[in-house]
Structure 1
Amino acid sequence: MTNFNEEKQIITALYQDLEKAAPDGTQTVLERYYAANHIWRGYHPFDEIRGAALVADRFWAPLKTALPHMQRRQDVFMAGRNEMDGFASVWGVSMGHLMGLFDAPWLGIAPTGKLVMLRYCEFNKVENGQITETAMYFDLPHLMMQAGLQPFPPQTGAHMVQPGPAPHDGLMFTPQPEPEGEKTLAAINNMISDLGQWDSGLSLEDELRQSWHEDMLWWGPAGIGATYTIPRYAKQHSGPFRAGFTDRSKTYHICRLAEGHYGGFFGWPNFTATPTGGFMGMPATSKPGEFRVIDIYRRDGDKLAENWIFIDLLHFWKQQGVDILARMAEVPHT
């Protein structure tokens, strides 16, 4: 058993203190846990922020003002050593929803006075008892859709508040057997090797079958949606995605880890690609765009069974000249 108890306790304490804090108290909380040189990487329009004071001022205080009585409802909580730096650093990962009452405007989006759930996934690097780096991606278009807005054309997958893992065993507050994490990381790396080439010579479905269970669940971001089984995933996301882009770069991750039957990664960006037209109903451009992505996986046996995906689509499309957030901020909710 590899013990990440100290790192998990620090992150859990941060979450507990953040949940209790009033909006104007978030800076004090973050300063207690964040190192002086802390780097925070977030979904557009937040991008990269340095230091607890700015993270509180730009993100947490406005969000907690907009969503009072906010709760963090976790579906996955894990920690592990980062393969991307030779397993030198330890990162913790939390995934789930931030739930609250949408009672005040946020980022120009009109409040509904109703319950909303903001999908999120957060990676935290812990060094010497402090958090030195954070990557927090959240599904802002999903929140827009809950507020009655339609930021994108009709998506190919299903729209829903997404559930956690089927076995309900993703909250790993205690140490997990190390061999299980090694198997999960190997399965993720095999998948990256299989699917990162786009030229295996196999049909897309057979290529997917090398890494995925036949009844795989792919919990995609709003604008794409969720899809189920290899044939439907190939039809509703993977096939259209490959057809809609060219000049895909190599993949780069800042962190990739696993614990137990779960693992994941993020990049800043993960890769770049150029739209050839059609994907998400958008036109072709000549502009390479960045894909900032978090993927969280559940392994079952020697293959992957579930995948939760966070893609900063607002950042990608803004690079293509389409400011989705500005458009939606001008539209009243229905």
Structure 2
Amino acid sequence: MPDRKAVAEYQAEKAVVRAFHDALDNSTPANIEQALAQFVSPDWHWRGMHPFHEQYGPEAVARVFWTPLRNALRPLQRRPDIFIAGRNAIDGGDSVWVTEMGHLMGLFERPWLGIRHTLRIVMLRYCEFNRVVDGKIVETAMFCDIPHLMMQAGQNPFPPQTGAMLVQPGPRTHTGLCYERQDPARGEATLAAIDAMLKNPGAKFHNKDEATRLARVWHDDMIWWGPAGIGATFTIERYVRQHSIPFDNALSAGYRFNGHIAKIAEGDFGGFFGWANLTLRNAGGYMGMTAGPAAADMRVIDMYRAQDGKLAENWIFIDILHYLAMQGLDVLKRMDAVQSGGG
């Protein structure tokens, strides 16, 4: 558990990330690299979803991700829903991470990654973990739901999903922006609720007993805000039917948990990310893929809201494009080929 005496340190790390976002949001495509360089280390390790993957240093991140995105969605407005900091439970509290989740909203003025521009408002879901050391960001995981943006542009790459496709709201309580110091005991309770879920994941929801087991760690009216391609579900019963059973039926073979890189909690909110958290094999049908012998990785971010000792809301980010690419389907290349008349 975090040292309560060290909680004040989080405010310094939060200030660095907030200043970083302010500089980034007020930069132009021409000076994004300079804005990044003020707040990150020269060897900054940045992890992004397919097709960005791992990048090092502000020049690479600006060139590969931020400059093209800012040229496509403009003006770009940051709309955060969760902002927390904490010591990493994975490394025994040695590192401090700051996490922000929300949407990047903009007018889709130019194509991005082959996704056609709509000239209308689009909302790009994102969640970013930043490790801060001595006033600099040294490591980042920046996940964004690219398939959800494709759907908003009328280019749905998937068969019908089991849940609902929504522009997802933030926490029901509207209390996710923890800019000020929080009671350490609440963060400890949130982390305990997340750990209870991880120890009792409720795999194989094919009978009433398993659904009952799930209810030990989740509220009955829980909300699971899944990524595009899977969708959102509401209540334990619908979560089991609309996500857990289809997921388990298709992906339980060869399932391997690889662990997480960072896991933090503050106030009623917490989450984790991995690279990759899971490795599993598609038995056929999931995301429209045929069965195959090759295992593929799922890079995942989970964010949670806890309430009264149980979990009430869960926002999921999965690098689905990378998962499919490892199975031989590059969704972005296929989409570009179709648009250019090559497929």
- The interval holding the TM-score normalised by the smaller chain is over 0.9
Per-residue deviation, residues 249-304 of structure 1 (Å, max 9, x unmatched): 12410000100100000000001011111223321111111000000000010100
TM-aligned CA distance change 1:196 to 1:25, over 3 Å: farther
Q: Is residue 232 of structure 1 aligned with residue 238 of structure 2?
A: yes
Question: Using the alignment, how far apart are the partners of 1:147 and 1:331 within structure 2?
Answer: 15
Question: Using the alignment, how far apart are the partners of 1:283 and 1:204 within structure 2?
Answer: 28
TM-aligned CA distance change 1:196 to 1:319, over 3 Å: farther
Aligned to 1:287: 294
Question: Using the alignment, how far apart are the partners of 1:23 and 1:177 within structure 2?
Answer: 39
Aligned to 2:263: 256
Relative contact order: is structure 1 or structure 2 higher (C-alpha 8 Å, sep ≥ 6)? 1
Aligned to 1:309: 316
Contact 1:251 1:271 (8 Å CA) reproduced: yes
Alpha-carbon shift at residue 200 of structure 1 (Å): 11
Identical positions, percent: 51
Per-residue deviation, residues 40-72 of structure 1 (Å, max 9, x unmatched): 000100000011100001100000000011011
Contact 1:248 1:272 (8 Å CA) reproduced: yes
1:176-255 maps to which residues of 2 (within 5 A)? 176-195=182-201, 203-245=209-251, 246-255=253-262
Alignment coverage as a number of residue pairs = 333
Aligned to 2:68: 62
Alpha-carbon shift at residue 331 of structure 1 (Å): 4.6
Aligned to 1:101: 107
Question: Using the alignment, how far apart are the partners of 2:187 and 2:219 within structure 1?
Answer: 18
Aligned to 2:156: 150
Question: Using the alignment, how far apart are the partners of 1:197 and 1:133 within structure 2?
Answer: 32
Per-residue deviation, residues 100-138 of structure 1 (Å, max 9, x unmatched): 010011111111111101000000000010000000000
Q: Is residue 90 of structure 1 aligned with residue 109 of structure 2?
A: no
Stretches of structure 2 that go unaligned for 5 or more consecutive residues are none
CA RMSD of aligned residues (A): 1.6
Alpha-carbon shift at residue 202 of structure 1 (Å): 6.9
Aligned to 1:270: 277
Question: Using the alignment, how far apart are the partners of 2:37 and 2:174 within structure 1?
Answer: 33
Question: Using the alignment, how far apart are the partners of 1:200 and 1:185 within structure 2?
Answer: 28
Contact 2:205 2:240 (8 Å CA) reproduced: no
Q: Which amino acid aligns with 2:289?
A: M
Contact 1:204 1:234 (8 Å CA) reproduced: no
Alpha-carbon shift at residue 325 of structure 1 (Å): 1.2
Give the counterpart of 1:53 among 25, 45, 59: 59
Contact 1:108 1:330 (8 Å CA) reproduced: no
Q: Which amino acid aligns with 2:270?
A: G
Alpha-carbon shift at residue 197 of structure 1 (Å): 6.2
Paired residue secondary structure (2:304) = strand
Aligned to 1:129: 135
Alpha-carbon shift at residue 189 of structure 1 (Å): 0.7
Stretches of structure 1 that go unaligned for 5 or more consecutive residues are none
Q: Is residue 165 of structure 1 aligned with residue 168 of structure 2?
A: no
TM-aligned CA distance change 1:233 to 1:200, over 3 Å: closer
Q: Which amino acid aligns with 2:292?
A: T
